[in-house]
């Protein structure tokens, strides 16, 4: 990736005037290529202390996270591409993007709301996945604004999803806000409003490898998920409606466990490894969700969220595509930890509801804390 060149510096710094007083907190931008629509994409780099991230307005996407290991060596730990063309290519598997209007799966691409059956794209076998086709949130241009939150760099992306887009009812106004906290954290806030009842389930789909993106495996990482239960699925990965215990199964990460230790027992299942929705033990306020740790580098990622669940995916469909700087993203060389509501909630009355009402606001917060120990 070519060196960053500050653009629109006056506008950016006026929007975050307090950053001028703290040289360790900065926001700069550069061109990120031209999308197939002919619209230019922009990449923003936000830095606070030892933590630096890149985000782009194509898909409100987290492109890079650079953070030090225990020896102070800084590496990018998120999979992605060098320009917007990579994100529009067939090699992109939702790398770092904002997923919606409904993330995860909806059975047969259908749901019934207020007596009307809505039909969505079936882009994952018989099911609807991650918001659908050409106008799912990961594929569209979002408007961007650098906003002032003290001396903590922050950028807000906004998108208007029209009534009927990808088959969903109602016009949805949605924002995704990335903020770097001085304590070495990324805060990700989602908000949405609608003029018609509609399902909403938003998440970020970052692929993590704490050894550095392009490192050969995620199987040597230790993972803890603060969940004693999960939602079992059928052979197309749609929840059956049951909620079951993970205890004494390969899905048990209630205490830290090496990801690769038991994954072979899941290779022959429909998930082809880990691709499971965990029901978090605590759902009140901002609560613990998961901890990912890489012993060799000392890097540790702690995840807190306001969401009731987290999807753990072990990169089973990564196939050696080329990412940033020509690095190879091998099978199971990264994992996703997606905070969200349950898959197919719109078709399960016993699951936490994903229906957003007019006059109400959808709000979701996830906080990522990075440490080196």
Six-digit token string for 101: 């209007």
For tokens 């790398």, what's the residue?
95
Active-site residue, from 205, 221, 276, 341: 205
CA–CA dist 97, 107 (Å, integer): 22
Handedness of CA 337, 338, 339, 341 (dihedral sign): negative
Query: Are the CB atoms for 362 and 198 separated by under 8 Å?
Result: no
Six-digit token string for 7: 């653009």
Six-digit token string for 14: 């006026």
Handedness of CA 253, 226, 361, 175 (dihedral sign): negative
The number of angstroms, rounded, from the C-alpha of 36 to the middle of its chain's C-alpha atoms is 23
Q: 338 an active-site residue?
A: yes
Q: How big is the chain by its Cα radius of gyration, in Å?
A: 20
Handedness of CA 139, 141, 146, 148 (dihedral sign): negative
CA–CA dist 132, 100 (Å, integer): 8
The number of angstroms, rounded, from the C-alpha of 232 to the middle of its chain's C-alpha atoms is 22
Q: 226 an active-site residue?
A: no
Six-digit token string for 208: 């993590």
- Scored b (16 or more CB within 10 A) or e, 234-262 reads eeebbbeeeeeebeeebbbbbeeeebeee
CA–CA dist 28, 259 (Å, integer): 37
* Backbone angles phi and psi of 71, in degrees to 5: -90, 0
CA–CA dist 144, 30 (Å, integer): 13
Partners of 181 in the beta sheet? 185
Query: Are the CB atoms for 334 and 315 separated by under 8 Å?
Result: yes
Active-site residue, from 52, 165, 166, 338: 338
Query: Are the CB atoms for 348 and 178 separated by under 8 Å?
Result: no
Residue positions annotated with a catalytic role: 205, 338
């Amino acid at each position: 990736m070519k060196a960053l060149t500050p653009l629109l510096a006056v506008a950016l710094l006026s929007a975050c005037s307090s950053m001028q007083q703290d040289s360790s907190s900065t926001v700069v931008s550069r061109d990120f290529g031209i999308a197939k629509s002919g619209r230019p994409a922009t990449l923003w780099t936000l830095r606070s202390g030892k933590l630096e991230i890149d985000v782009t307005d194509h898909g409100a996407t987290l492109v890079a996270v650079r953070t030090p290991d225990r020896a102070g060596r800084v590496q990018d730990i998120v999979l992605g591409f060098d320009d917007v063309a990579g994100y529009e290519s067939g090699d992109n598997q939702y790398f770092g993007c904002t997923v919606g209007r409904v993330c995860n799966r909806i059975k047969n691409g259908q749901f019934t709301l207020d007596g009307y059956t809505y039909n969505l794209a079936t882009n994952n076998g018989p099911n609807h996945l991650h918001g659908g086709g050409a106008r799912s949130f990961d594929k569209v241009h979002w408007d961007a604004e650098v906003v002032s939150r003290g001396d903590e760099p922050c950028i807000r992306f906004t998108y208007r999803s029209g009534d009927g887009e990808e088959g969903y009812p109602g016009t949805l106004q949605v924002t995704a806000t990335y903020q770097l906290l001085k304590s070495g954290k990324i805060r990700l806030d989602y908000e949405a409003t609608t003029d018609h009842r509609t399902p909403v389930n938003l998440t970020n789909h970052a692929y993590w490898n704490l050894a550095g993106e392009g490192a050969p495996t995620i199987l040597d990482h230790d993972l803890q998920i603060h969940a004693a239960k999960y939602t079992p699925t059928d052979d197309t990965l749609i929840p059956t409606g049951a909620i079951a215990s993970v205890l004494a199964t390969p899905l048990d990460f209630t205490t830290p466990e090496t990801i690769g230790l038991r994954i072979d027992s899941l290779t022959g299942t429909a998930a082809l490894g880990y691709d499971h929705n965990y029901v978090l033990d605590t759902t009140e306020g901002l609560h613990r969700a998961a901890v990912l740790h890489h012993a060799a580098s000392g890097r540790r990622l702690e995840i807190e969220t306001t969401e009731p669940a987290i999807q753990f995916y072990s990169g089973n469909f990564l196939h050696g595509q080329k990412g940033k700087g020509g690095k190879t993203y091998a099978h199971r060389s990264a994992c996703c930890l997606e905070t969200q509501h349950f898959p197919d909630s719109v078709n399960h009355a016993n699951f936490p509801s994903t229906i957003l009402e007019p006059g109400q606001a959808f709000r979701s917060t996830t906080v990522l804390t990075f440490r080196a120990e």
